[in-house]
Structure 1
Amino acid sequence: MAGEITEAGELYSPYVGLVYMFNLIVGTGALTMPKAFATAGWLVSLVLLVFLGFMSFVTTTFVVEAMGAANAQLRWKRMEARQDEEDDDSSSSASDSDVLAQDSYERAEKRPILSVQRRGSNLFEITDRVEMGQMASMFFNKVGVNLFYFCIIVYLYGDLAIYAAAVPFSLMQVTCALGNDSCGVEADAKYNDTDPCWGPLRRMDAYRIYLAIFTLLLGPFTFFDVQKTKYLQILTSLMRWIAFAIMIVLALVRIAHGRGEGRPPLADLSGIRNLLGVCVYSFMCQHSLPSLLTPVSSKRHLTRLVLLDYVLILAFYGLLSFTAIFCFRGDSLLDMYTLNFARCDVVGLAAVRFFLGLFPVFTISTNFPIIAVTLRNNWKTLFHREGGTYPWVVDRVVFPTITLLPPVLVAFCTHDLESLVGITGAYAGTGIQYVIPAFLVYLCRKDTQLAFGYGTVNKHRSPFRHTFWVGFVLLWAFSCFFFVTANIVLSETKV
């Protein structure tokens, strides 16, 4: 079955799916995690990281269950459509009275048979790729669907703002250090944006120049359709793992040689706000699960494989962050962790310094057009009316412009990556990772019971099948919203 092609596309083995999911989750958020760990304290960070990993696993199983329920609905509709066609063909030669009598008899005869057929476990097999937007349309009302797209759009805007700031920030850090005849990025992270970069140009001027170049080079892709190629995915994944491996090894070597400078506190409650958002953002995968898991050839032990993935990701995040906070002083950790290795006193080899310093530039730049096109298409779907088409100007100019302009303006105003990641994760990320999956699984369970009967068992049902877990996830999501908002208000009040 591994070579079979379905609506999900070409299938791959469960372990390949495990690798793809690992690569999807471990991204930009991991690079901002070390500084968040150092700010919040190592014990608080560890506890929160494990808890948020567990909560993300719970909602991932919710989405998988909703995928199974959506597949059952679609499969049953196709079966009914075929049955109606067969009934029409067989009754075409009968009189009207005969047809009415026959239909009445058949409905009476089929009712108990259908209730048995509907309980077939194969109904819930995940073979059709049903994206979260389609699931929202199936299980939510109109208001719920609009709120879903609003949440997705806000999250994607945050994603693009993070990407638009990360690339110019990395270029500014590396090139301004060279412009000042320095060997790599400054050891002290408490730089000033008004400090000189090249001659009369300030650091902020250099950042905005790089942002303009970044926008001019990658912005036009928003106006066209782009696809992530297989080879581009392989290349970026390879670069990512080389970079992460180098950073972990170098940090361990420095610590082993007694050159570790980090003395992280046990707990610092003032840093929890950003840590919360960063961790939520770093476990984000729920919106991409249909594309990721549907092509898995054997889904018999899907929940176990997903659990294994989360355990590995937790171990990786812990290793990366703990080596970072004990290797570098908390006040010297930069928003983009790779930049801490663009220094001569950390890495002697210039090629490795430049590779790590510019690593976000290469990997993030390849993802920016893809996220931008995804956001543009979500805008189109939100305003789409059945049977209607957009004028050329609206389709090719207005939607790409409203996609590109806001994140670039945000990046123009700030390059505080930790705050951007924290706010995106704490608000839109919480909605996508907790609220939407909780409502999806609750409503799909009710719909499944009504459509297929109360004895129906979804073969992909979540291990957290009690309604308590849905309520607990929603309560936690509300707590995240409340805590982050209150923390922001208190911080502004103090200032």
Structure 2
Amino acid sequence: MYRGIRSPPVDSVSYTNLVGFIFIFNIIVGTGALTLPGVFAKSGWCLSFVVLILLALVSYITVTFVIEAMAGANAIKNWQSLQALRYKRNSNEEDNELYWNTESETVPLTIQNMQFHYYQLTQKFELGEMAKIFFNDCGRILFYLCFIIYLYGDLSIYSAAVARSLRDVLCEHDHSNNSDISISELSSMRLLGGLKDNDNRTCWKEHNVSRLIVYRIILIGFTMLFGPLVLFSIQKTKYLQMLTVVFRWLAFILMICIALKMLVIDGVKGHPVAVNFYGIPSLFGAGVYSFMCHHSLPSLLAPIKHKSMAKKILSYDYILICSFYIVLAITGIFAFEYVEDLYTLNFLPYHATSESLFSNFLIVIDYFLSLFPVFTLSTSYPLIAITLKNNLQTLFLDMSQYNSYSILIRALFPFLSILLPFCITYFTENLSILVVITGSYAGVGIQYVIPVCLVYYSRVTCSELLGSGIKNQFQSPFQSNIWLLMVLAWSVLSVFLVSINLFR
């Protein structure tokens, strides 16, 4: 018998609107932002500016769909709780008083006071849980496949970013090998064929070890060090979140300030084109990836104290983040003659355009920026891997019978969680390709298609159970089905354009 919904102690887990604003900013601004200056340089500053604003707008629209679907999931569970309460009370009238005394902890207080509101955000519903409520078996399988592919891409990007950052800090930087290659030729080679020119160079003059070998050694060490943590249950803490926020704000502000300083002192060195349609794959992939927060949104919304402000908080976040991305990318593409696909690599201590050799303080800053992906992504890698492991188990195993499976079966999924990202990044370190595939395919599914399907089926289900007279106070401002069709059309167009340009 369904016993109702246990309401969490809100005061012990809630946080203010400002803290919620910071946490949402932290979850959105990540590795994707570090690839934006590179794709701005490839796609052209004007085209990138317009497309990034459109991507931010569409992403915000689908965020409001997730909020509405989460409120709909709460409404369905609350409706089930109320029906179970009424059934039990009617079938056991003589024990009615005893029932109210013993069940008070498992029944929402609003039900007891008969002032019940169905649509709430008090109970956290992850995307997978909402998929189980609103989708059929085929829809749930497609959801988990899309989510798993995205997580695999996430881990691949994290592994490559960490290994490349450490490799480029440890290895000597010799410009002589590229002295006969112009910046424009080097940019074209990297855009079309990856970074093979860097891979074949020696890491140190005294040793005949290529940069590719050093990259792979670091990748193996990183995977062996952090991979086994997937066997454990690791949860994010509030203090870890706050520390990560400080590191990210500091790093991005320093990059913007250094680029502005270079523009003021040295003048414009980069001369990017205004429009280059051949850069659309990287632009869409990095843009979609840079605004991704939908998979973590339910965990961030549930503890917010004033949940009626959720959409407004997210709108402020998106405006700030979009402006932040544009400033970061525009200053970078005009300050540097060539922009690396991982922007922090432009701030290596021995970079040709840097004056950090003349100041120990600036050397420390350059090392901090160069190692920034290592610090932040290393702490997130085990958490993403654990999430991937859990989703793989949910898709392929009956979790109610989990303890009956052999140790070999249970150990298989943690191993699979780290094996595929390792194999992918062992053979390629090209972050542009990884971001394009992850953002433009799996990212489009999670950020566009899944929220549209969730909000549509939540509206249908809630209308059937509750009727149309009860209003969802968390409904999206984009209520018309035309918005749903427009988002789906945008996602199809995005995948089509990216696929055409990518295969060409």
TM-score (norm 1): 0.88
Unmatched runs of 5 consecutive residues or more in structure 2: 1-6, 97-113, 188-196, 357-361
Partner in structure 2 of residue 65 of structure 1: 68
Residue 26 of structure 2 is aligned to residue 12 of structure 1 = no
Tell which deviates more after alignment, 5-14 or 241-250: 5-14
290, 294, 298: which is aligned to 1:282? 290
Task: Identify which of 371, 374, 386 aligns with 1:361.
Answer: 374
Aligned residue for 1:254? Answer: 262
Pair 350,36 (structure 1): closer, same or farther in 2 beyond 3 Å: same
Q: 1:171 to 1:187 in 2, by over 3 A?
A: farther
For residue 268 of structure 1, report the CA deviation from its aligned partner.
0.4
Partner residue of 1:159?
154
Alignment of 1:264-303 (within 5 A): 264-303=272-311
Q: Structure 2 CA distance, aligned partners of 1:377 and 1:11?
A: 26
How far apart in 2 are the matches of 1:181 and 1:214? Answer: 30
| SS of match in other structure, 2:308 | coil
Aligned to 2:220: 212
Partner Cα separation in structure 2 for residue 269 and residue 254 of structure 1? 29
SS of 2:455's equivalent?
Answer: helix
Q: Report the secondary structure of 1:439's partner residue.
A: helix
Amino acid at match of 1:378: N
Distance change (3 Å), C-alpha of 1:173 and 1:136: same
Map 1:176-325 to 2 at 5 A: 176-177=171-172, 191-198=197-204, 199-325=207-333
Query: For residues 416 and 21 of structure 1, what CA distance do their matches in structure 2 show?
Result: 28
Give 2:499's aligned residue.
Answer: 485
* 1:375 partnered with 2:388: yes
Contact 1:18/1:305, CA 8 A, preserved across alignment? yes
Is residue 341–residue 347 contact of structure 1 (8 Å, CA) maintained in 2?
no
Change (3 A) 1:121 1:48: farther
Aligned-residue offset at 1:81? 1.1
Counterpart Cα distance in 1 of 2:69 and 2:213:
48
Report the counterpart of residue 136 of structure 2 in structure 1: 141
Letter in 2 for 1:403: S
Residue 199 of structure 2 aligns to a residue whose secondary structure is: coil
What does residue range 389-468 of structure 1 map to in structure 2 within 5 Å? 389-390=402-403, 391-394=405-408, 396-468=410-482
In the TM superposition, what whole-angstrom CA distance separates every residue of 1:102-151 from its partner, at most 9, and x where no partner exists? xxxxxxxxxxxxxxxxx988210210001111100101001001110111
Secondary structure (helix, strand or coil) at the match of 2:198 reads: coil
CA distance in 1, matches of 2:418, 2:141: 21
What's the secondary structure of 2:233's corresponding residue? Answer: coil
* Correspondence for 1:336: 342
Which residue is equivalent to 1:472?
Answer: 486
- Cα deviation, 1:191-235, whole Å, max 9, x if unaligned, reads 431111131100101100100110111111112221223332222
CA contact (8 A) 1:9 1:295 kept: no
Given that 1:67 and 1:130 are in contact with CA atoms closer than 8 Å, whether structure 2 keeps it comes out as yes
> Aligned equivalents of 2:118 and 2:9: distance in 1?
16
Q: 1: distance between equivalents of 2:395 and 2:373?
A: 32
Contact 1:52–1:280 (CA under 8 A) maintained in structure 2: yes
Which residue matches 2:100?
none
Does the CA contact (< 8 Å) of 2:280 and 2:497 recur in 1? no
The partner residue of 1:30 within 29, 33, 41 is: 33
Instruction: Verify the 8 A CA contact 1:6 1:128 in the aligned structure 2.
Output: no
* Aligned counterparts of 1:392 and 1:347: Cα–Cα separation in 2: 59
* Partner residue of 1:45 out of 37, 48, 51: 48
Structure 1 position 360, deviation (Å): 0.8
1:8 Cα deviation from its structure 2 partner: 9.9
Q: 1 CA distance for matches of 2:174 and 2:382?
A: 30
Q: Which runs of 4+ in 1 moved over 4 A?
A: 178-182, 186-191
When residues 296 and 187 of structure 1 are mapped into structure 2, their CA distance, relative to the original with a 3 A threshold, is farther
Deviates more, 1:474-483 or 1:365-374: 474-483
- In structure 2, the CA distance between the partners of 1:8 and 1:373, relative to structure 1 (3 Å rule), is farther
| Equivalent residues of 1:17, 1:296 under 8 A apart | yes
SS in 2 for 1:300: helix
- Which amino acid counterpart does residue 463 of structure 1 have in structure 2? P
Distance 2:116 2:329 in 1: 43
The one-letter code sitting in structure 2 at the alignment partner of 1:333 is V
Name whichever of 48-57 and 216-225 sits farther off. 216-225
Q: Distance in 2 between matches of 1:88 and 1:226?
A: 44
Q: For residue 101 of structure 1, what is the aligned residue in structure 2?
A: none
May I ask how many residue pairs the two structures share in their alignment? 458
Supply the distance in 2 between the matched residues of 1:7 and 1:72 (Cα, whole angstroms).
18
Give the Cα–Cα distance (whole angstroms) in 2 for the partners of residues 247 and 320 of structure 1.
Answer: 8
1:300 shift after superposition: 2.1
Deviations 1:232-284 (A, max 9, x none): 22222211111111110010111112433111111000001111010000000
Answer with 355-364 or 59-68: which moved more.
355-364
**Whole-angstrom distance in 1 between the partners of 2:11 and 2:69:** 16
Structure 2 CA distance, aligned partners of 1:177 and 1:75? 62
Aligned equivalents of 1:279, 1:415: Cα separation in 2: 20
String of CA shifts for 1:46-97, please: whole Å, max 9, x gaps: 000000000000000000000111111111111111111111212799xxxx
Shift of 1:488: 2.1
2:348 maps to amino acid = A
CA RMSD after TM alignment: 2.4
Residue 392 of structure 1 deviates from its aligned partner by 3.8
Deviations 1:13-38 (A, max 9, x none): 12211111011100000001100000
Q: What letter corresponds to residue 454 of structure 1 in structure 2?
A: S
CA distance in 1, matches of 2:222, 2:442: 25
Q: Which moved more, 1:53-62 or 1:195-204?
A: 195-204
Q: State the distance in 2 between where 1:306 and 1:46 align.
A: 21
Answer yes or no: is the 8 Å Cα contact 1:7–1:128 preserved in 2: no
> Structure 1 CA distance, aligned partners of 2:116 and 2:457?
20
